[in-house]
Amino acid sequence: MGKKSLFMSQSAEKIQELKTALHSFHLSNGGKMVPFAGYEMPVQYLEGIMNEHKHVRLKAGIFDVSHMGQFSIKCDEKEYKKLEEIIPIDLSSLKMHQSKYSVLMNKNGGIDDDLIVTKVNDGLNIVLNAACKHNDVKRIHEVINQKNTKLHEDLSLIAFQGPKAASILETLVPGVKDLKFMNGNSYNYDNEKLFINRSGYTGEDGYEISLPNKLVEKFCKKLLEDKDVKLIGLGARDSLRLEAGLCLYGHDLDPKTTPIEGSLSWALSKKHKSERSFLGSEIVLKQIKDGTKKKRVGIKPEKIIAREGSKIFINNEEVGVITSGGFGPSVNGPIAMGYIKTEFAEVGKDVDLEVRGKKHRAKIHTLPFYKKSYVK
């Protein structure tokens, strides 16, 4: 047997992976560690991806996402304009404690990273992808004075997701049940400050909790005292987000793909979409007006599991490529996302996917594959 996996290191040269503050905790809980974005992270625990995935849909799960970048900017409204040149959201219209999904643009109209910005009392908090965070910080320092920013290596980040997450977290941190979706605020636990955001990457209600490294293991143990809580690995995180139709940066989005091609025009502010100039805006605004050659869509294969890189055909003409694909445990079937020539990007359209040299039937599908249950 020979494995071909996203999570297996193919390279012969051994790179020293970084460890999060929960590393030994993962090991003692049966975490199967794999290299991911420069970190050694748990792809699954003893129960496996399928059970972990379903557990999050039914109850509540903890994910260690401390590899992600937690970046803060101390600033006031005067600085917004400079940041909006590279991150096309309307920061002035963002309410206090409100979060927004956005992208870091490059000069070609492509996406250098996708991120979440939250407005806080003394400025902005930004969560960045692990593999991109150091480059992102460099890019942000080109527009914002470095001394007013910080990449918080002293903080861990855990996601706590699932229909039971709110009631369970409320018992530890009173008040979080009242947090609105895509809002974040500071709370206290054990005389330490926590920053909690009601958001996630699973299609379920839940939170992302930023807390000091020294507190994170204790906090996870406390959450795990509830029998409805389990540790969940990156494998299930990937299948959950794919069912929810959410992009994985580096796969579904990259520096050569624009937000319009990525079906993310909703993430750009009205102001940016109409008159406002920003990095790459001449390309992006032209695409809004004239359309794009390709577009990100959901794809539902009839039977076959089509992984990243599978080509999409219509009548033997190559029309696109799969960028994320796998098995959706809650959909109970194969699901995928990919880019297809815009003229074919209509829901219900029949396509063929090439897997191991053979073509297999699939249909363009709406996203998400699994109905979200966010608390508004």
The residue ranges that bind another protein (CB under 8 A) are: 1-8, 43-44, 48-51, 53, 235-236, 238-239, 304-305, 307, 326-327, 329, 334, 356
Residue number with CB closer to another protein (15 or 289): 15
Taking the complex as a whole, the smallest distance from the CB of residue 58 to another protein amounts, in Å, to: 16
Taking the complex as a whole, the smallest distance from the CB of residue 156 to another protein amounts, in Å, to: 25
Residue number with CB closer to another protein (191 or 332): 332
Task: Provide φ and ψ at 295, rounded to 5°.
Answer: -150, 145
CB 327 within 8 A of CB 305: yes
Residue number with CB closer to another protein (6 or 94): 6
CB 109 within 8 A of CB 258: yes
Residue number with CB closer to another protein (245 or 326): 326
Taking the complex as a whole, the smallest distance from the CB of residue 326 to another protein amounts, in Å, to: 6
Residue number with CB closer to another protein (109 or 334): 334
CB 73 within 8 A of CB 123: yes
Output the 3-class SS for 174-209: CCHHHCCCCEEEEEEECCEEEEEECCCCCCCCEEEE
Residue number with CB closer to another protein (51 or 213): 51
Structure tokens, 71: 């970046």
Nearest-angstrom CA–CA distance, 85 and 144: 11
Q: Is 151 helix (H, G, I), strand (E, B) or coil?
A: strand
Taking the complex as a whole, the smallest distance from the CB of residue 38 to another protein amounts, in Å, to: 19
Residue number with CB closer to another protein (65 or 172): 65
Residue number with CB closer to another protein (2 or 348): 2
Task: Specify burial of residue 57 (Cβ count, 10 A radius: 0-12, 13-18, 19+).
Answer: buried
Scanning the structure block, which residue is given the tokens 């509540």?
Answer: 60
Nearest-angstrom CA–CA distance, 262 and 339: 8
Q: Is 122 helix (H, G, I), strand (E, B) or coil?
A: coil
Find residue 323's DSSP bridge partners: none
Who's near 121: CB < 8 A, 6+ residues apart? Answer: 96
Residue number with CB closer to another protein (200 or 329): 329
Taking the complex as a whole, the smallest distance from the CB of residue 66 to another protein amounts, in Å, to: 21
Taking the complex as a whole, the smallest distance from the CB of residue 146 to another protein amounts, in Å, to: 39
Task: Specify burial of residue 356 (Cβ count, 10 A radius: 0-12, 13-18, 19+).
Answer: exposed
Residue number with CB closer to another protein (237 or 295): 237
- Nearest one of 31, 55, 20 to 236, comparing CA atoms: 55
Terminal-to-terminal C-alpha distance of the chain: 47
Taking the complex as a whole, the smallest distance from the CB of residue 367 to another protein amounts, in Å, to: 19
Identity (one letter) of the amino acid at 257?
Answer: T
Taking the complex as a whole, the smallest distance from the CB of residue 238 to another protein amounts, in Å, to: 7
CB 40 within 8 A of CB 23: yes
Q: Is 82 helix (H, G, I), strand (E, B) or coil?
A: helix
